[in-house]
Amino acid sequence: MKGDVKKVVLAYSGGLDTSVIVRWLLETYGCEVICFAADVGQKEELDGLEAKAINTGASKIYIDDLQEEFARDFIFPALRANAIYEGTYLLGTSLARPLIAKRQVEIAALEGADAVCHGATGKGNDQVRFELTYMALNPHIRIISAWKDPNWTFNSRESMFDYAGKHGIPLPLTKAKPYSSDRNSLHISHEGAILEDPWAEAPEDIFVLTKSPECAPDKPTYVEIDFERGNPVAIDGQKMSPAKLMDCINLIAGENGVGRIDLVENRFVGMKSRGVYETPGGTVLWAAHRGVESLTMDREVMLMRDSLIPKYAQLVYNGFWYSPEMTALQAFIDQTQENVTGTARMKLYKGNCILVGRKSPFSLYREDFATFEKDQVYNQMDATGFIRLNALRLRIQAMKKEKMS
Q: Is 177 helix (H, G, I), strand (E, B) or coil?
A: coil
Contact 32, 54 (CB under 8 A): no
φ/ψ (deg, to 5) at 155: -120, 5
Length of the chain: 405
Which among 13, 17, 39, 305 is annotated as catalytic? Answer: 17
How buried is residue 400: exposed, middle or buried, by Cβ count under 10 Å (0-12/13-18/19+)? exposed
Distance, first Cα to last Cα, the chain: 79
Q: Is 156 a catalytic residue?
A: no
Distance, in Å, from the CA atom of 221 to the CA atom of 349, rounded to the nearest integer, reads 7
Where in 108-193 does DSSP place strands (E)? 115-118, 142-145, 180-183, 188-191
Q: Is 17 a catalytic residue?
A: yes
Q: Which DSSP category does 279 fall into?
A: -
Distance, in Å, from the CA atom of 199 to the CA atom of 219, rounded to the nearest integer, reads 32
Which among 126, 260, 358, 360 is annotated as catalytic? Answer: 126
Q: Is 180 a catalytic residue?
A: yes
Residue 85: beta bridge partners?
89
Q: Which DSSP category does 114 fall into?
A: S
Which among 114, 142, 180, 262 is annotated as catalytic? Answer: 180
Q: Is 375 a catalytic residue?
A: no
Positive or negative, the CA dihedral 58, 59, 65, 66 is negative
Distance, in Å, from the CA atom of 244 to the CA atom of 236, rounded to the nearest integer, reads 14
| Cα–Cα nearest to 210, from 146, 260, 156, 272 | 260
* Residue 325 Cα to chain centre, angstroms: 19
Which among 23, 97, 183, 274 is annotated as catalytic? Answer: 97
Contact 326, 315 (CB under 8 A): yes
Q: Give residues with Cβ within 8 angstroms of 10, minimum separation 6.
A: 18, 21, 22, 25, 33, 34, 35, 36, 58, 116, 117, 118, 119
φ/ψ (deg, to 5) at 180: -95, 125
Q: Which residues are catalytic?
A: 17, 97, 126, 180
